[in-house]
């Protein structure tokens, strides 16, 4: 028999842009890169990549940082980009501001693309496979950090009989938000 059914809503918030340690962890988890390999490729992206028609360009900001802050100029550019690419429903009323660690030096801003209009796909031909993978990771995290929350409808149900109890939890995405 069904003992109870509870319906609800869950909001999932976007993650802040990368710090050095977060980048290393995500690159290891999602790409299988070692810390040394991540930093070597990130250094290449920071120092500059030969982009077709543009020459050598640094495509990410300084990679040794413990800060999650982003410059006003970068915030304006990414918010404009999100509005154009995804629509106003994916753009929060005010920029998402993230709180870093209390002992963070905040000497540099978070790791982000130097130009949000330089999408990973638009420069893929100029990058090695590993550079592309890491740049896409940095790019996606930065853009999604300034998008709206994702919304999920949730349901918890408890059923039981003959001394057996089962609990079911499920969720369905109602609005993609930053997961888009």
Q: Which residues are marked as active site?
A: 62
- The stretches of 54-152 forming alpha helices (DSSP H) are 72-85, 120-123, 129-145
* Nearest residue to 143 via CA among 104, 59, 85, 67: 85
- Beta-carbon contacts of residue 53 (< 8 Å; ≥ 6 apart): none
Cβ neighbors of 174 (< 8 A, separation 6 or more) are 9, 151, 152, 153
Give, in order, the Cα–Cα distances in Å from 65 to each of 21, 34, 100, 138: 8, 18, 11, 14
């Amino acid at each position: 028999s069904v003992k109870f059914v509870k319906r609800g809503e869950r909001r999932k918030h976007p993650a802040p842009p990368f710090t050095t340690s977060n980048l290393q962890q995500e690159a290891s988890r999602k790409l299988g890169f070692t810390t040394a390999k991540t930093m070597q490729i990130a250094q290449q992206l920071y120092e500059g990549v030969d982009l077709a028609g543009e020459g050598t360009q640094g495509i990410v900001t300084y990679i040794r940082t413990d800060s999650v802050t982003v410059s006003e100029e970068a915030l304006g550019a990414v918010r404009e980009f999100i509005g154009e690419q995804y629509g106003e429903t994916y753009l929060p009323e005010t920029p998402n501001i993230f709180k870093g660690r209390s002992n963070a030096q905040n000497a540099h801003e978070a790791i982000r693309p130097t130009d949000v209009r330089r999408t990973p796909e638009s420069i893929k031909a100029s990058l090695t496979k590993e550079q592309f993978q890491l740049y896409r990771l940095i790019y996606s995290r930065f853009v999604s950090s300034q998008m709206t929350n994702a919304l999920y409808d949730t349901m918890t149900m408890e059923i039981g009989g003959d001394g057996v109890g089962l609990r079911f939890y499920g969720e369905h995405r109602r609005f993609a938000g930053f997961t888009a």
